[in-house]
Amino acid sequence: MSEFAGIRRDALRAEREARAAVAPRRRFENLLDRHESRLRRVAFGMLGDAHRVDDVLQEAFLKAYRALPESFENERLEAAWLYRIVHRCCLDELRGRKRRREVAGVLELLSSEDEQDSSLVIAGALARLEPNSRAVVLLVDLIGLDYDTAATVLGVPRGTIASRLHEARRALRAVLDA
């Protein structure tokens, strides 16, 4: 009798462990399903280099998965958490690029033929903004995050978001009009 009880206990434990291992992966897949396309646009807008977007997102998702909390209080915090990690990874990449004295990818690739491609034109215009301005205009104007969430993502006060956004919109318009 006790032997059967032991087998059953072992089976239950194995099932529990298997479920515990799969559950975070499923949760994370679900999280990516909801956010990945928008995160991809933010990363592309930040980096301006289609070739580096995948590597940076891989690194960001790897970090995010390893630090995945058991749950989030609400969807706003969930989004802020994920966007913040991607944003930090993009900044790391930009800093590394600066150290290596590389030219921003999209500026290098942009030719007169590409000017027909409005996506590349926008990416080129964004690449001419400061990373802080780029981030705020992408998060608020492109993705549609509210000021509070954008402030959490960028780790700055709400008022800073408003002033940076004003400045970034003006600069972007000036670049596009030129």
Partner 1 sequence: MPDLHDLAAPPPPAGFRDRLWERVAERERRDGKRRRATAAVVVVAAAAALTATGVLALGHRPTAVMGKTFDKTSSCVVTYQGGVPVFRLQAHARYRFFQNKQWFSFPAVAALLTKEGIGLGSVGAVPDGYSIGASDSCTATRQIPLSRSGLPLEGIYKPGEAGMGAMDSGAQCMVGTRIAVRVHAVVGPNDTPVSGAIAVRTGKKLRPVVYVEWTPNRVAVYMSDDCYYT
Binding footprint of partner 1 on the chain (CB under 8 A): 25, 29, 32, 36-37, 40-41, 43-45, 50, 53-54, 58, 60-73, 77, 81, 84-85, 88-89, 118-119, 121-123, 125-126, 137, 141-142, 148, 151-152, 155, 172, 176
Q: Which is nearer to partner 1, 68 or 162 (CB)?
A: 68
Judged by phi (left if over 0) then psi (alpha if -120 to 50, else beta), residue 55 lies in: alpha
Q: Do 86 and 39 touch, CB atoms closer than 8 A?
A: yes
Q: Do 99 and 105 touch, CB atoms closer than 8 A?
A: no
d(CA 60, CA 39): 10
Place of tokens 């802020």: 80
- State the minimum distance, in angstroms, from the CB of residue 138 to partner 1: 8
- State the minimum distance, in angstroms, from the CB of residue 114 to partner 1: 12
Q: Which is nearer to partner 1, 43 or 101 (CB)?
A: 43
Dihedral (CA of 125, 130, 131, 132) sign: negative
- State the minimum distance, in angstroms, from the CB of residue 63 to partner 1: 4
- State the minimum distance, in angstroms, from the CB of residue 118 to partner 1: 4
Q: Which is nearer to partner 1, 40 or 97 (CB)?
A: 40
Q: Which is nearer to partner 1, 58 or 101 (CB)?
A: 58
